[in-house]
Amino acid sequence: MPYLADLEQSGIPTVLINYVEETEKVKNDSVLYGIPKLRYVEADRKSPGGVEEADRLLPLVLEGLTRPLTRAEKAGGRYAPEPPRILFEGTLPEAEKFYQQTERIPRILDAEWSMYTDGLPVVIPTEERVKEMLTGTSHAPDELISLQRDFETRPQAGLFMQGMIRKKGEVIKFMPTGSTATVEQIAVNAVMAGCRPEYFPVVLAMAESGGCTGDGRSWGGGFIVSGPIYKELGMNVSYLRFGPCNPANKTIGRVGSLIWRNIGGWKESVTGIGVGLTYGNPVTNGGFIFAEYAEGLPAGWKGLNEMRGFKKNESVIVPFSPGAWGIGQEHLPGVYRSLQRTGHGAIARFLDVKGVVGPHNYLEFLTKDIWATREGGFTLVMPPQVAQDLYDYGFKTKEAVYEWMWKRSFVTVGNYRQRGMGDLITNGWLGIERTSGKHWRELPDDYMVPAGGDGPEAYTIIVAHGDETAIDRFGGGPMGSQTYSIDAWR
Amino acid sequence: MAEKDKVYKCLNPVGKHEPVDQSPLAPRLTNLDGKTLHLSICGEADIWVPLEKRLKGDYPDVNWTVKKRFHIVPDELTEEERKTTDAVILGVCW
């Protein structure tokens, strides 16, 4: 929409062809970007072959470019919403009823949609509670959420994202509406999620990342904490780290989806079209956060904070985008222990090391066919023993593991052409293949290309506490090189 | 006052959108002949396969330019290209 707005405002008439399900978002976005009367033509995505649909659309498209403007289309104006600071005044029972209001959204079959919450009951954000939350930071309540340091983002070829330099002080725009927020407004959402004031610096760092809303459409929904703050807050880095019952993990994770809903303004089919990613991903399920157990790292393996240029004693948050859960070969923890301790069991048979005590390269078993039905990197959350075994085997750094896994992901161009994401990642085979520097269409079918992401940086290892030697594996990982200091928000 | 009757001021969790000037649309074309019309193709290509063919076939006196991208973000016209472009048809993402 920014592109269309720019064209219209520079005097070039446009018409948009959109699918009919997206019309409400088109109307919404055209106001947000300053061209409220944008002309659009609705297409039906179910038209077989598209020929009849093209016949129907053609005169409508050309009419959009030639029919003289109406009075309304020639008019200007200003969109300047002023949401009140005090949303409701009344007793707590009345407030609970108010904040739990819902509306029906036609495009999702009139399903109910919470107007102020994530669908769950919330802690009512009274002035007193918000004031208490604000004691968790030294930042002023009326300060706009902005970047706390300069940093450079890494280009991501498959997403057509250029690398860019972002400057300290840049005001954060929360997508999909591009709204801004003050420290106080984030505190309101933190209260609603059930956070304690001591969690607030983590929440503010999440807000600094844009609440993991990306460009509003997809990606994100999760956060990793690295650094000693996990101990201060009592975050669970051990068994059931992804499960219920830990207040810090659950409430801080929840704030992300409230920020997306309230600050970013997500309203399904109106301000955004969900495709199961971001906070709509069942893995994130409305918000997802966990922390690193740096004490379990083998010597020579760095924590996520150190790998991102921070010190070991500095606490940071990294937004990430988790995909499919439980990828790779399944096994029980005892099967892993047998592999390394006695050289017996299924994994030992797979690696042909029967009777030979480890360390063995377990990753050869785990990653067999892991890219057969998916592209991209992934994240491994492993107990200290697995990390130590990999170190003893010869992976003296995490980067060495990443490099090994990425190289293992190479497939032939012939294979890559048959994959579901190939058309998108290669821009319809019109672009340049990174490893060769050649045009995709010049490459022979037997040329090897990586199915597992742009490079080793597509992989992440997080060490968690626990002696049960099973690792959590899920697709996706950190969103580029973005890392945000939690300490900057204390 | 009983606790249940106590009145509280409750804050707004919503963010604030910066004011945006609303612009009129650019003037429309009076005719198509001899004009340069740009097709900005992004997202799913399906509808565009027959549509591009129909547009070019039915309007041979139009100078058609095309940029295609399979991604949701369109491949934008450069400043130089805009100077000679009379109108843009964009779809299906934006």
Q: A287-334, pLDDT tens digit by residue?
A: 789 999 999 999 989 999 999 999 999 999 998 888 888 889 999 999
Using the Cβ of A126 and the Cβ atoms of chain B, whether some distance falls under 8 Å is answered with yes
Q: Which domain holds residue A265?
A: 92-325+481-489
**Based on the domain organization, do A357 and A313 belong to the same domain?**
no
Q: What element of type H or E holds A93?
A: helix A92-99
A473: Cβ contacts below 8 Å, ≥ 6 apart: A325, A326, A327, A328, A366, A378, A379, A380, A381
Burial class (CB in 10 A: 0-12, 13-18, 19+), A408: middle
Same domain, A461 and A485: no
On whether any CB of chain A is under 8 Å from the CB of B1, the answer is no
Closest CA to A297 of A396, A403, A402: A396
User: How many Cβ pairs within 8 Å bridge chains A and B?
Assistant: 266
A110 and A51 in a common domain: no
> Do A174 and A186 belong together in one domain?
yes
**A81 found inside a domain:** no
Number of structural domains in chain A: 3
Backbone angles phi, psi at A74, to 5 degrees: -90, -10
Chain A touched by B81 (CB under 8 Å) = no
Beta-carbon separation of B23 and A5 below 8 A: yes
Residue count of chain B, please give it. Answer: 94
Cis peptide upstream of residue A201 (ω within 30 degrees of 0): no
Task: Answer yes or no: do A105 and A228 share one domain.
Answer: yes
- CB-based contacts of B51: which residues, under 8 Å, 6+ apart? A17, A50, A53, A54, A57, A58, A61
Give me the sign of the Cα torsion angle A420, A424, A430, A435. Answer: negative
Confirm whether A82 is domain-assigned.
Answer: no
> Whole-angstrom Cα distance, residue A151 to residue A154?
10
Residues A319 and A364 in one domain: no
Chain B interface, best mutation among A6, A12, A162, A267, by max B CB count within 10 A = A12
List, in order, residues 6 or more apart from A379 with CB less than 8 Å away.
A320, A322, A459, A460, A461, A462, A473, A474, A475, A476, A477
Chain A closest CA to B72's CA: distance in Å?
9
Asked if A50 reaches chain B (Cβ–Cβ under 8 Å), the answer is yes
Contact present, A451 and A375 (Cβ < 8 Å): yes
DSSP structure class, residue A360 = -
How far apart CA A472 and CA B72 sit, in angstroms, is 32
Q: Residues A16, A62: one domain? A: yes
Average pLDDT over residues A184-200: 98
Task: Render pLDDT for B15-62 as a digit per residue (tens, 0 to 9).
Answer: 999 999 999 999 999 999 999 999 999 887 778 989 999 999 999 999
Domain membership flag for residue A218: yes
Residue at A83 is within a domain: no
What mean pLDDT is predicted for residues A172-188? 94
Average pLDDT over chain A reads 91
Partners of B15 on chain A (C-beta within 8 Å) are 83, 174, 177, 179-181, 185, 262-265
pLDDT of the residue at A278: 53
Instruction: Please indicate, yes or no, whether residues A15 and A153 belong to a single structural domain of this protein.
Output: no
Domain shared by A250 and A313, yes or no? yes
A28, A45, A74 — which closes off a domain? A74
**Both tokens of residue A288?**
């997802």
Residues of A in contact with B41 (CB under 8 A): none
Residue A340 pLDDT > 90: yes
Give a yes or no: residue A133 inside a domain.
Answer: yes
Asked if residue A79 is part of any domain, the answer here is: no
Question: B33 is written with which tokens?
Answer: 């002949």
B19 touches chain A (CB under 8 A): yes
Residues A426 and A442 in one domain: yes
Q: Which residues of A touch B67 (CB under 8 A)?
A: none
Convert the pLDDT of each residue in A388-446 to its tens digit. Answer: 999 999 999 999 999 999 999 999 999 999 998 888 888 888 888 989 999 999 999 99
Choose one of A74, A107, A124: the last residue of a domain.
A74
In terms of domains, do A256 and A160 share one? Answer: yes
Q: Who among B5, B14, B40 is closest to A91 (CB)?
A: B5
User: Looking at this predicted complex, what is its ipTM?
Assistant: 0.94
C-alpha R_g of chain B: 23
Q: Is the pTM above the cut of 0.90?
A: yes
Same domain? A132 vs A257? yes
